[in-house]
Amino acid sequence: MRVRTADATHELVPLADRMRYMRIFRLLAALAVVGACVALPELRREPLAVALGVTGGYLGVSLAGEAIWRMVSRRALPLFGALVVLDAVYLAWSAYLLVDADAPLRFVVLFHLVAVALLASFRTGLKLALWHSLLLLAVFHAQEAGVLESAGGGEAVALGGLEYRTLLAQAVAYWLVAIATASFGAANERELRRRRYDLEALGGLAERLERAAHAGGVAATLADAVADDFGFERVAFFGAPERKLELLAGRGLVPFALDGGLEPRADGALAHAAESAQPLLVAGFEPADEPALAAAMPEPGNLVFVPLHADGRTVGVMVCEHALRRGSRLERRVVSMLERYGSQAGLALTNAWLVDRLKRSATTDGLTGVANRRAFDETFARELARAARADDPLSLVLVDLDRFKLLNDTHGHLAGDDVLRAVASCLEDEVRIGDSVARYGGEEFAVVLPGLDAADALAAAERLRTRVAALELGAAVTVSAGVSSFPLHANEPLGLIRAADAALYASKRDGRDRVTVAG
């Protein structure tokens, strides 16, 4: 998965909270020591005043350490460790020197191990267990050597005796408690970190999807996010803008796959995945099950099909190839995250299609399906500016249906609408890629021809006139046209439109069904 820096993924438990929890533990531990000294005076090895003084000094040093931490935050972690070591020394003193060896205060050491192992880390818990064990053995050997005899009183302990074996058992218990607590805590922390990472990844995906301007951008964003976040080598994103799946974007696919020539089978694996409500895991995909997918992903291996749903229908299918060996199971968490990624992408894709439709409706003539007057004005100005920069010719053809009012009066307005749609479709079919056809107004169309001078534009307009006259529409339909060219007739949009309009009316005056070039 994507590597994140320490600044990007903060600690689950901030250091300030850890210090506060340890402050509460120190207060409770001090109260336990003082309470035991007051309640069990016969077990004390030192006077009560000594216990109170040492406890007060311990608390004072701890509070001073926290005050230093607030002033010098850069040394926070070493200071936290130093205070933990101080805790261990105080607990060793209270458990081994203040009261008898059988006193219950030794269980406070176990609570200390549990608290540190949960609040700090696995290694810190093990280091603390080692430190407690060393203090335990140090006190024992000091008593054996008679160093603590005046303080502890009584007979000297012997190596190998019952007390020594008891201390060893206690040291083993310290290690077991530290290892068990740290292991369970680390397992829980790993799960929490994973969930936090998943939430951050989903948030990052949402931000990137918001920046995607169109459906293709949404698909490409999802493909890149899935490949980067989960380590998939190849990802294909199929969408269904018109309830028919088509390849929108991918990662690691063959170069020709996104050229629009791949069409999934109606009964293939992609269609089956689209009908399913759950992700499908396929080990050893057979190319015959979906030739379109096999063409995009040669020799596919283990695949995950994730249907994308929005508005109660399937809007796409995401296909991911993972590198696990055949028979290996994909982690359930990964599959769940793919579903969440797909849910966000499905909604974003639906919204992008809606925005695309709104944009098209704003620039498309509702009756004929070609560009409207607003789109023509923008396109014409843009193409004319490009031609001026490149010193290339550009021509404009205005096409008007002959006797269209008579056609409406004779056959009805519905028949007139059919004629307008047929003529618009004919014009779009006959122009080159890069040419623009727009409904200029009423029964008039405009055709922008970049790169053509007046002579070439005249030939193109004659071809359009001939093709319209050949249409079988139940009534004879002809058109008249006028042609103007840049820079021959004008060098700005309004001048070219006026020249082409004048040429069009010249064609009307000369008998219609003809093309005239501006004079």
DSSP notation for 57-104:
HHHHHHHHHHHHHHH-GGGHHHHHHHHHHHHHHHHHHIIIIIS-TT-T
Residue 60's CB is within 10 A of a number of other CB atoms, namely 10
What pLDDT does residue 338 have? 82
**Per-residue tokens: 434:** 């890069």
How far is residue 211's CA from residue 111's CA, in Å, rounded to a whole number? 51
Ramachandran angles phi, psi of 248, nearest 5°: -100, -40
Q: Is there a single domain that holds both residue 80 and residue 168?
A: yes
What pLDDT does residue 101 have? 47
Please indicate whether residue 486 or residue 197 has the higher confidence score (pLDDT): 486
pLDDT in tens, 419-451: 999 999 999 999 999 999 999 999 999 999 999
What pLDDT does residue 470 have? 93
Assign 469 a pLDDT band (cuts: 50, 70, 90). Answer: very high
Strand partners, 517: 483
Active site residues: 443
What pLDDT does residue 509 have? 94
Residue 30 lies in a domain: yes
pLDDT in tens, 385-423: 999 999 999 999 999 999 999 998 888 999 999 999 999
Please indicate whether residue 147 or residue 72 has the higher confidence score (pLDDT): 72
Return the half-sphere exposure (C-beta side, CA atoms, 13 A cut-off) of residue 361.
6
| pTM of the entire predicted model | 0.51
How far is residue 519's CA from residue 516's CA, in Å, rounded to a whole number? 9
CATH code, 337: 3.30.450.40
pLDDT in tens, 315-368: 888 888 876 655 456 677 778 888 888 888 888 888 888 887 787 788 899 899
How far is residue 488's CA from residue 250's CA, in Å, rounded to a whole number? 47
Please indicate whether residue 46 or residue 327 has the higher confidence score (pLDDT): 46
Residue 2 lies in a domain: no
Q: Is there a single domain that holds both residue 453 and residue 498?
A: yes
Q: Is the pLDDT of residue 157 over 80?
A: no
pLDDT in tens, 280-329: 777 767 776 777 777 778 877 778 888 888 877 778 888 888 766 554 56
Q: Is there a single domain that holds both residue 471 and residue 431?
A: yes
Mean pLDDT of the chain: 80
Residue 113 lies in a domain: yes
How far is residue 467's CA from residue 461's CA, in Å, rounded to a whole number? 10
Q: Is there a single domain that holds both residue 188 and residue 227?
A: no
Task: Please report how the helices 15-39 and 106-119 are oriented relative to each other, as an axis angle in degrees rounded to 10.
Answer: 170
pLDDT in tens, 480-495: 999 999 999 999 999 9
Q: What is the β-pairing status of strands 515-517 and 479-486?
A: parallel
Q: Which of 313, 339, 361 is the last residue of a domain?
A: 361
What pLDDT does residue 492 have? 94
Q: Is there a single domain that holds both residue 347 and residue 472?
A: no
Q: Is the pLDDT of residue 159 over 60?
A: no
Domain residues for the domain of 385 are 373-517
Residues 6+ apart with CB under 8 A from 269: 282, 285, 289, 290, 293, 305
Residue 1 lies in a domain: no
Q: Is there a single domain that holds both residue 332 and residue 443?
A: no
What pLDDT does residue 1 have? 35
How far is residue 365's CA from residue 442's CA, in Å, rounded to a whole number? 11
Number of H helices and E strands in the chain, helices first, is: 16, 10
Lowest mean pLDDT among 3-12, 47-56, 79-88, 493-502: 3-12
| SS3 call for 460 | helix
**Per-residue tokens: 103:** 């006193």
Is residue 202 exposed (0-12), middle (13-18) or buried (19+ Cβ within 10 Å)? middle
How far is residue 108's CA from residue 34's CA, in Å, rounded to a whole number? 13
Q: Is the pLDDT of residue 258 over 60?
A: no
How far is residue 481's CA from residue 501's CA, in Å, rounded to a whole number? 9
pLDDT > 90 in the chain, percent: 27
Task: Write the CA distances from 180 to 106, 113, 117, 126, 296, integer angstroms.
Answer: 19, 10, 9, 10, 50
What pLDDT does residue 2 have? 37
Residue 201 lies in a domain: no
What pLDDT does residue 460 have? 95
How far is residue 504's CA from residue 446's CA, in Å, rounded to a whole number? 11
Q: Is there a single domain that holds both residue 335 and residue 381?
A: no
For the segment 110-127, the average pLDDT, to the nearest whole number, is 78
CA angle at 500 for the pair 498 and 503, rounded to the nearest 5°: 110
Residue 367 lies in a domain: no
Q: Is there a single domain that holds both residue 40 and residue 164?
A: yes
pLDDT > 70 in the chain, percent: 83
Specify which of 219-233, 238-252, 497-511 reaches the highest per-range mean pLDDT. 497-511
Q: What is the DSSP letter of 464?
A: H
Lowest mean pLDDT among 89-93, 96-100, 311-315: 96-100
Assign 149 a pLDDT band (cuts: 50, 70, 90). Answer: very low
Residue 368 lies in a domain: no
**Per-residue tokens: 57:** 């000094």
Lowest mean pLDDT among 149-153, 229-233, 268-272: 149-153
Tally of domains within the chain? 3
Q: Is there a single domain that holds both residue 183 and residue 76?
A: yes
How far is residue 513's CA from residue 519's CA, in Å, rounded to a whole number? 19
Helix extents (H) in 212-317: 215-230, 269-275, 291-296
How far is residue 254's CA from residue 23's CA, in Å, rounded to a whole number? 61
Q: Is there a single domain that holds both residue 305 and residue 432?
A: no
What pLDDT does residue 324 have? 61
Q: Which of 163, 195, 227 is the last residue of a domain?
A: 195
Q: Is there a single domain that holds both residue 186 and residue 283?
A: no
Residue 416 lies in a domain: yes
Q: Is there a single domain that holds both residue 189 and residue 245?
A: no
CATH code, 474: 3.30.70.270
Return the half-sphere exposure (C-beta side, CA atoms, 13 A cut-off) of residue 34.
14
Q: Which of 139, 161, 195 is the last residue of a domain?
A: 195
What pLDDT does residue 515 have? 96
Residue 187's CB is within 10 A of a number of other CB atoms, namely 10
What pLDDT does residue 6 have? 36
How far is residue 401's CA from residue 397's CA, in Å, rounded to a whole number? 13
Helix extents (H) in 370-492: 373-390, 404-411, 413-430, 454-469
